[in-house]
Amino acid sequence: MFANFRREIPAPSIGVFLSLQVLDVLTTLIGLRLGASESSMFISRLMRLGVVEALAISKLFAIILASAAVGYKRGRVVVVLNYWFGAVVGWNLCTILYTGIATGFRP
């Protein structure tokens, strides 16, 4: 009965991936402006070059790796990355909210 059961793997969505990369950059910049700190050791070390430069380099790496995954017919990797970056953007939003509340931010 279960031998013929196969889970459908969602198609890799490059559009979602790129949108999440943009949202990650924007939410990171907002969080840093509010006083939050970068939790990724790799990115925080890159930030010695500058915030925008570090984020651009990290996103370039992400896009190259996702392109390689699609090129090698490993689209499932992009699907997993979409979930991962969705969680990262959610984490950034929670950090923005917490930092804004803690500092008494008023728009």
CA distances from 74 to 7, 10, 49, 65 (A): 16, 12, 33, 11
How many structural domains comprise the chain?
A: 1
CA distances from 8 to 5, 51, 76 (A): 9, 40, 11
Is residue 100 in a domain? yes
Over residues 45-85, the pLDDT tens digits come to: 999 999 999 999 999 999 999 999 988 988 889 999 999 99
Is residue 18 in a domain? no
Q: Decide if pLDDT at 9 tops 60.
A: no
> What value does the mean pLDDT take over residues 5-15?
69
Distance from chain centroid for Cα 4? 35
Is residue 105 in a domain? yes
Is residue 103 in a domain? yes
Residue reference for tokens 């790796």: 65
Provide the domain limits for residue 83: 74-107
Over residues 78-91, the pLDDT tens digits come to: 999 999 999 999 99
> What value does the mean pLDDT take over residues 38-50?
91
